[in-house]
Amino acid sequence: MVALTRHVRMLACMSECLSTQPQPAPESSATTAATRPTPLFALLVLTFACSLGTGSLWNALPFVTEHDFHFTKSENLALAIMEAVAYIAAAYNCGRIVKSLRGRLSPRGVIQATLWAQALVCPLPLFFGVPGIIITALVTSIVGAIMWASIESFLSAGRHGHALRYSIGLFNVTWTSAVALAFYIMAPLFLTDQSRIAILAIAPCSFIAAMCLRWFPKTQAPPSNEPHATFIPAVYRPLRSASRFLIPTSYLLIGALLPLLPYVIDRIEVIPVMATPVAATWLTMRVITITGMWRLHFWHGRWSTLVVGAAFMTIGFAAAVLANSLPMLAIGLMAFGAGQGILYYASMYYALSVGHGAVDDAGTFEALVGGGYLLGPIASLAGVALGGGVNVVWCVLAVAGLASLLALREWWRWRRNPPRDDQPHSALLH
């Protein structure tokens, strides 16, 4: 709303100034709409609906498969690996897919197609059991990668500076809140043998999201040509490069933890109806952390932010996997959620600030997320094969450590030869 108010005032001033000058031919409404950012309220409602639906599948699927179909740890990890491979392939090629559909589907039409595809496959687990689960997971992984990369490009396109920071903050608070809420809402279903019913939430959520698209422009707004819109502090580029290694590392830890979390909760004898609310501890903490990141700006351009996020996630992961009591699990999950919130928000901020809203940049960001989701279950599966327990922790942290070395290399390069800004930092940040 702050950005919108400023925009209205600016237009009013421009109108007053130009009233005494010769007026150019009026632009068509279609042209004017195409140069404006996507209305933030419509984008946030769509984001909440999509996240509430997909949150009931992507994050809760290990609980559903363990509860309804009695999947083993290895089977849940194998399913996670399949989802990650599909997600990476779709996200990495998202830009090419959207471009290949031009003339038949606009970028807005692509989002609509992904929503209908998700709605069509979500009933399959109810009628076809395990095959239905596999098909639904595969399809939603493919179309979900394209959907989120497209939504993120609409979010950042046409926005910069304060408006970009404000929009990214609201976007992240919105989707993380919806995912956490899905865990609490679905809890009563675990009193039955039909927790898979939760996956049906995708259909009405997709319908609500599709209605929001009427306020979207057909294509993303072009980047602004104003000098302050294209300037970014020099440190943002190495921070983006470092975060591109850390974001898959953070999702590596998520991908390693989520398929195992139902079994950790079962081991400490939490009753089934409380399984997803306990698991939502880290999701709730992530919302709190991201809200703080949004409202506090001191972390912009600071390398220590990435270090703190990585440390919290690492410690939290180890504590959660090895937990032998509910308090220890809760502490581990809170640290895990705080660390992931820090890394995700910082990574997305730098990626979209530097990328200026291109679908390719958003697609690359989502492909990196998928890369973490792939490596995590693989490392966990290796740890389970070695006997489980502490072996899982060592296998996962070894892989995460190797990935983090690439981020450390970016810091070392910056430290040896720090680039200089051509303009003050305030040009972008304010």
pLDDT digits (tens, 9 = 90+) for 246-268: 888 888 999 999 999 999 999 99
pLDDT of residue 33: 52
Of 5-9, 145-149, 219-223, where does mean pLDDT reach its minimum? 5-9
Largest CA distance in the chain: 80
Residue with tokens 């939290």: 316
pLDDT of residue 420: 65
pLDDT of residue 111: 95
Q: Does 22 reside within a domain? A: no
Average pLDDT on 30-34 reads: 50
Q: Does 47 reside within a domain? A: yes
pLDDT of residue 8: 34
Q: How many domains does the chain have?
A: 1
Task: State how far the Cα of 185 lies from the Cα of 372, in Å rounded to an integer.
Answer: 27
Q: Does 2 reside within a domain? A: no
Task: State how far the Cα of 379 lies from the Cα of 170, in Å rounded to an integer.
Answer: 33
pLDDT band per the 50, 70, 90 thresholds, residue 327: very high
CATH of the domain at 216: 1.20.1250.20
pLDDT at 363 over 70: no
Q: Does 19 reside within a domain? A: no
- What is the value of pTM for the model shown? 0.81
pLDDT band per the 50, 70, 90 thresholds, residue 240: confident
Cβ neighbours, 10 Å, residue 73: 19
Q: Which residue has the higher pLDDT, 341 or 226?
A: 341
Mean of the per-residue pLDDT values of the chain: 83
Task: Decide: 246 and 347 in contact? Cβ < 8 Å.
Answer: yes
pLDDT of residue 230: 52
pLDDT of residue 317: 94
pLDDT of residue 221: 75
Task: State how far the Cα of 303 lies from the Cα of 311, in Å rounded to an integer.
Answer: 13
Question: What backbone phi and psi angles, to 5 degrees, belong to 138?
Answer: -65, -50
Q: Does 127 reside within a domain? A: yes
Domain that holds residue 337: 39-418
Q: Which residue has the higher pLDDT, 181 or 95?
A: 181
Average pLDDT on 406-423 reads: 77
- pLDDT tens per residue across span 44-100: 999 999 999 887 677 789 999 999 999 999 999 999 999 999 988 888 888 888 888
Q: Does 31 reside within a domain? A: no
The top-scoring range by mean pLDDT among 53-62, 180-189, 223-232 is 180-189
Task: State how far the Cα of 163 lies from the Cα of 176, in Å rounded to an integer.
Answer: 20
Q: Does 28 reside within a domain? A: no
Q: Does 1 reside within a domain? A: no
